[in-house]
Chain A
Amino acid sequence: MTNHWIDIKNADSILIMGSNAAEHHPISFKWVLKAKDAGATVMHVDPKFSRTSARSDFHVPLRSGTDIAFLGGMIKYILDNEKYFKEYVVEYTNAALVVGKEFGFKDGLFTGYDPKTRTYDKSKWGFEMDANGVPKRDKSLKNPRCVLQLMRKHYSRYGVDAVSATTGVPAKDLLKVYENFAATGRGDKAGTVMYALGWTQHTVGVQNIRSAGIIQLLLGNIGVAGGGINALRGEPNVQGSTDHTLLYHIIPGYMAMPHNGWQTYDEYVKGNTPVSKDPMSANWWQHKPKYFASLLKAWYGDHATKENGFCYELLPKIEKGGDYSYLFLFDRMYRGKIRGGIIIGLNPMNSVPNSNKLRKALDNLEWLVTSELHHSETTDNWHRPGVDPKKVKTEVFLLPSAHRLEKEGSVTNSGRWLLWHYKAVEPAFEAKPFGDMFCGFMGRVKKLYAKEGGKLPEAVTWLDYPEKYDPDDLCARINGRFTKDTEFKGKMYKKGQQVPTFTALKDDGSTMSLNWLYAGSYTEEDGNKAKRRSTEQTEMQKNIGLYPKWAWCWPVNRRILYNRASVDLNGKPYNKAKAVIEWKDGKWVGDVPDGGWPPMATGKGRYPFIMHKHGFGQLFGPGRQDGPFSEHYEPVETPVTKNLFSGQLNSPVYKFVSSDMDKLCKPADPKYPVVLTTYSVTEHWCGGGETRNIPNLLEAEPQLYVEMSPELAKEKGINNGDGVVVESIRGRVEAIAMVTVRMRPFKVHGRVIHEIGMPFCFGWTTPGTGDSTNRLTPFVGDPNTTIPEFKACCVNIRKADKLTELAT
């Protein structure tokens, strides 16, 4: 989230799209309803009428996978009707920047496309620079190659008729949303976007969110109270695990994973540190070497010195351009190229697409370490229906895991708040927190390397890895410490003392920090700020529900990111009634400002979007793999044969693997005419591995169901409560029909297209509840993130003759 949960209450218009917020982030609705009480309009755009829709002012059903068409139409509406917040757009976004002549777009493809590698040469998307190397700007926005004009041209194709025919949303409903949300394109109004996996889990996932980013920048809704792009992240601590790098492509603090193109520390730093020649651009990532060196210093301790590049060369490096996401990882496993593995904290045999392939792939392992509260489809894969356990070679170790209530530590919520959570009870029997296990693994591996040597043993033996897991100490290390006596802002710190903030971090080896974003969270002065529970606030902070002394928030306790875009060039809030910051008597008051420079008008200011090289909010985003503007492409499995916006049916750069089990049906395949979307349910957590073992929750949601419209049910001769079989080209799944008016048929390309929806939380280890819905979903992913397309594929549905997976 750029903002935070409480801040939702400040919105005048709330667009919930790609999310079922009331069901999956129930607390969010506490604040959504407060906004509604104060007069906000709440809109839910989603294929299914859900509990979120029930509490919204209105619901707009759209066909899965057509969000960019919907949002592209809104961008066109905003531009055509001059609804954008002009001063903000000119001063704070890159609307006025002039794009280089090499950039172009034709029939669904941006310039620089190489069909052989299915990638773009992004250097074709650069800005024009002046003699000083500063991007050229035309604040009149008249230059035909300025971003705003190019954008106008790009989205000119997204007229209401084409959008309606693609999305299945009637024109009047499109306009209802567009008008309402676009009305926030002025200083005294704010609109927020709440999204979740309904946007990310597509082959165009990142561009779904980009589209919303463009809208929010046009309307001046970033940096303000009640605005923002708000990714709803939940109980599984997605925010914290992303910050601390659960994913393969980054290392802590959102820095790139070292690859074989960067063999030395210097090469890495050069390849990753942006340079701006514009004195008005803060270009915050220019400080990356300080954060990177401090991270390496935290990993390798005294062994890491400036002379040896802080041991950078010891780090394992991925192949440049290699994909190590789980789609590719399990594909390699399926091909027999992986011998063993540790799977902790997820249940991929249930929650990764194409489960039939996954389950076979796992059989290829010689050994597998798992750690769970309960047996899961992953821990017990070798016992799965239809398989003789004796014939599966994998030796499985199942370690008993402590429940999260049995351990203490930090979680980071969606609003980037670092919160301490306390242990309620001791772990039962031999159960242990994961941290204890990892320390146990690493301690033994280190001893083995010390004893037996091997290739590059220092990579392991030199690691400053704790022998015993101590969450408090780990949080202190994440914050970072001085590694020698240092003076910072007139105060002396001793070696081993906590750094007060990330501006104290250096690239000379004098500091260490496991994550620069968290520097300031655990200090000498205030201790572990995750434990703070004070509601103290100023009147100004109270006015927008900002609690600066409750827990701590990255970065530097800034609760609303890019908040300097909420004020005019003189530092005065655009929205006086809901001011976030204000320049008053020579200083900023309110939230922690996004950089302490004085207002822009003083000539000493900096552009507010400090994390971008040029300092502007990126309407034109040249960093993504699939283009600087969003563009509608059909899901990889689609019920139509044509894309009404271009000749390019699917994303030209989506990721896929091609084993014998990775089948895809052809466009508008008559064998699979129905669109399937998949989702979670309130009562079960993710794949259900924990909650299916909680009787009261299983009582509330006992079995796999498929939500379908009465129209489709009639067509297929299915009654509510009947057993049905849902089939895709990859597999078949049994479910119980839930025939409901909450699913509506769509009118798409002039004909009726039906969509059905299924949860994915049931599995065979809970007998009679059903088995993995993901046996149906395809193994294809977004080009930026490789997140799979869980949200849209093609299936058929029929009444079951008998049920074997479900109790009757």
Chain B
Amino acid sequence: MPKTIFVDTSRCTACRGCQIACKEWHELPANKTTQYKWGSHQNPQDLNAYNYKLVRFSEHLENGVVRWNFFPDQCRHCELAPCKELGDVYLEGAIVRDEMTGAVLYTEKTKEFTDEQFEEIRQSCPYNIPRRNPETRVFTKCTMCNDRVHNGLLPACVKVCPTGTMNFGERADMLKLAESRLASLKGKYPEARLADPDEVNVIYLLIDKPENYHEFAVAQADLGPMSKKQFLATLARPFKAMKA
């Protein structure tokens, strides 16, 4: 059974320890960011080749009450990952899944994908995760700290979290934790839900409507969540393209 990260957003204070720890562990350089014409605490503005993890900030007024939602965004390490399924069609073994941990990983080989293929793979992701390093052309995203996990360590983002937002363990244990947290929050937050728990290995507990967190907090309806059957059907399109 794969490993799972459970993200309890009801506990997140957006301290961004996870975002920074991710950069530190992967030794990613800083982006030049600005507030000009942006005016938000969410920096950098989006995931990119140097940010595998990004805490998204989303605020709104609801009957005069402010709600400010924090969403530590990262790859969901799907049970059946569209990026890998599609990638395999073009280039077997460029995108792999570690069966022991369930981590979906972009290898060096991903640099061989064309720009069009990258764009298709990016669009196949129901969570808008894949990015590409413009210099090395390697695909980038969260690695679940697979190297750390294989050495008995927690993923960096989980290790630094001070509030219990980020949790890591066996999928069954995390599901159990997620369900129990959901049960205890449901009374106070009628909108509380788990985001696509059956399809992914990074499970978010949300206490507000998903769209009040992030456009891709749950899988986009036209992209999934998918059953294996649904997914295979979508593969027809690129196959045809290749044959042509």
Contacts and interface: CB of A to CB of B under 8 A. Distances in A.
Contact of A723 (B11, B36, B44): B36
Interface stretch (A47-55, A387-395, A491-499): A47-55
B15 A736 contact: no
Nearest to B40: A738
Interface string A4-45: 000000000000000000110011011001000100000000
Interface in A716-757: 720-723, 736-742, 744
A55 B66 CA distance: 12
B17 A33 contact: no
A700 B66 contact: no
Given A49-B68, A699-B44, A29 B36 contact: no
Nearest to A699: B30
Interface stretch (A245-253, A358-366, A562-570, A690-698): A690-698
B20 A55 contact: no
A238 to B, nearest CB: 20
Interface in B68-97: 68-70
Contact of A682 (B11, B16, B23, B59): B16
A29 B13 CA distance: 8
Contacts of B163: 26, 29-30, 33
Contacts of A700: 16, 19-20, 33, 43
Contacts of A33: 11, 163-164
A37 B183 CA distance: 13
Contact of B29 (A54, A695, A737): A695
A521 interface: no
B41 interface: yes
Contacts of B148: none
B36 A736 contact: yes
Given A682-B15, A703-B36, A51 B43 contact: no
A683 interface: yes
Interface in B123-173: 162-164
B66 to A, nearest CB: 5
Interface string A619-662: 00000000000000000000000000000000000000000000
Interface string A174-215: 000000000000000000000000000000000000000000
Interface in A461-500: none
Contact of A51 (B14, B20, B44): B14
Residue of A27, A53, A54, A682 with most partner-chain B CB within 10 A: A54
Nearest to B24: A696
A182 B163 CA distance: 28
Given A697-B20, A702-B43, A721 B35 contact: yes
Contacts of A736: 34-36, 38-39
A556 interface: no
B244 interface: no
Interface range on chain A (Cβ under 8 Å from partner): 35 or more
Residue of A58, A699, A803 with most partner-chain B CB within 10 A: A699
Interface in B16-70: 16-17, 19-20, 23-24, 29-41, 43-44, 59-61, 65-70
Contacts of B164: 30, 33
Nearest to B12: A55
B23 A696 contact: yes
B186 to A, nearest CB: 15
Contact of B68 (A51, A704, A705, A723): A51
Interface residues of B, number: 39
Contact of A705 (B16, B39, B67): B39
B235 to A, nearest CB: 38
A723 B34 CA distance: 12
A703 B13 contact: no
B31 A683 contact: no
Given A33-B163, A696-B20, A700-B20, A739 B13 contact: no
B35 A705 contact: yes
A682 B37 CA distance: 22
B162 A720 contact: no
B44 A738 contact: no
B39 A742 contact: no
Contacts of A91: none
Contacts of B35: 702-705, 721, 736, 738, 806
A55 B12 CA distance: 8
Interface string A784-808: 0000000000000000000100111
Contacts of B69: 54
B37 A721 contact: yes
A705 B36 CA distance: 9
B16 A683 contact: yes
Given A49-B68, A721-B36, A742-B59, A695 B30 contact: yes
A28 to B, nearest CB: 9
Interface string B172-204: 000000000000100000000000000000000
B68 A54 contact: yes
Given A699-B33, A702-B34, A741 B61 contact: yes
Residue of B11, B19, B66 with most partner-chain A CB within 10 A: B66
Interface in B84-132: none
A701 interface: yes
A559 interface: no
Given A700-B19, A702-B35, A736-B36, A23 B59 contact: no
Interface string A522-545: 000000000000000000000000
A806 to B, nearest CB: 7
A59 interface: yes
Nearest to A27: B162
Contacts of B40: 720, 738
A413 B238 CA distance: 60
Given A23-B13, A27-B162, A741 B43 contact: no
A671 B127 CA distance: 49
Nearest to A713: B39
A29 B40 CA distance: 23
B11 A741 contact: no
B55 to A, nearest CB: 9
Closest 10 interchain pairs by CB?
A695-B30, A736-B35, A721-B39, A721-B37, A22-B13, A720-B39, A699-B30, A54-B68, A703-B35, A738-B39
12 contacts: A23-B13, A26-B163, A30-B163, A33-B163, A698-B33, A700-B16, A700-B43, A705-B39, A721-B36, A736-B35, A741-B66, A742-B66
Interface of A: 22-23, 26-27, 29-30, 33, 37, 49, 51-55, 58-59, 682-683, 695-705, 720-723, 736-742, 744, 803, 806-808
Given A26-B13, A696-B24, A699-B33, 11 more contacts: A33-B164, A49-B68, A51-B14, A700-B20, A702-B43, A705-B35, A720-B39, A721-B36, A741-B61, A742-B66, A744-B66
